Amino acid sequence: MDRVVRVGISLEPELLQRFDEIIRSEGYTNRSEAIRDMIREKISQKFLEDPEAPAVGTITVIYDHHKGVVTDRMLHVQHHHLDVVGVSSHLHLDEDLCMEAILVKGKVKEVIALYNEIKSLRGILKTDLSLSSLSIKT
Ligand code: NI
């Protein structure tokens, strides 16, 4: 770990107890690491408010490949965003349903544009976007 600065904070005992319970249930063995992660998350959220900020993420899509031409549309959209689409993985869930996970990298506004385009395709049942800021290096 690089140089660190110690900070002291004041908390109500009940709040601290609840916090400790939560971070213990999540596997943290010390408060500092949990608080560092929370601070990184907050900073990441802030950076993601900037449409020009660089980001990486995953777009997850679930669709019924029997419904219309949704599979073709999914491919079509991705071919139009080659600069944002990194890798795409396809999982056949059952006889009808498919899941696709698309790893993306680009400006926040570019990733969201792709996500919105996919989300609005006819035949898509569920979409999720997980976006992370590259600010986490700090
Ligand atoms: Ni499939």
- Going from the Cα of 90 to the center of ligand 1, the distance in angstroms, rounded, reads 6
**Residues whose beta carbons lie less than 5 angstroms from ion ligand 1:** 92, 98
Write the class of the CATH domain 54-133.
Answer: alpha beta
Q: What digits encode the pLDDT tens for the residues 42-78? A: 988 899 999 999 999 999 999 999 887 888 999 999 9
Mean pLDDT, range 9-37, rounded to an integer: 95
- Going from the Cα of 103 to the center of ligand 1, the distance in angstroms, rounded, reads 17
Spatial contact of 116 and 65, defined as CB atoms under 8 Å apart: no
Q: Where are the domains of the chain?
A: 13-48, 54-133
Spatial contact of 64 and 125, defined as CB atoms under 8 Å apart: yes
Q: How many helices (H) and strands (E) does the chain have?
A: 4, 4
- Average pLDDT of the chain to the nearest whole number: 92
- Going from the Cα of 78 to the center of ligand 1, the distance in angstroms, rounded, reads 16
CA angle 73, 96, 117 (to 5 degrees): 25
DSSP notation for 85-129: EEEEEEEE-SSSEEEEEEEEEEEHHHHHHHHHHHHTSTTEEEEEE
| Burial degree of 61 (CB within 10 A; 0-12, 13-18, 19+) | buried
- Going from the Cα of 100 to the center of ligand 1, the distance in angstroms, rounded, reads 8
- Going from the Cα of 65 to the center of ligand 1, the distance in angstroms, rounded, reads 7
- Going from the Cα of 29 to the center of ligand 1, the distance in angstroms, rounded, reads 41
CA 63 to chain centre: 19
CA angle 51, 42, 103 (to 5 degrees): 55
- Going from the Cα of 109 to the center of ligand 1, the distance in angstroms, rounded, reads 29
Residue 136 has pLDDT above 70, yes or no: no
- Going from the Cα of 99 to the center of ligand 1, the distance in angstroms, rounded, reads 7
Task: With cut-offs at 50, 70 and 90, classify the pLDDT of residue 34.
Answer: very high
- Going from the Cα of 89 to the center of ligand 1, the distance in angstroms, rounded, reads 10
Task: With cut-offs at 50, 70 and 90, classify the pLDDT of residue 138.
Answer: low
Give φ, ψ of 106 to 5 degrees.
165, -170
Residue 51 pLDDT: 94
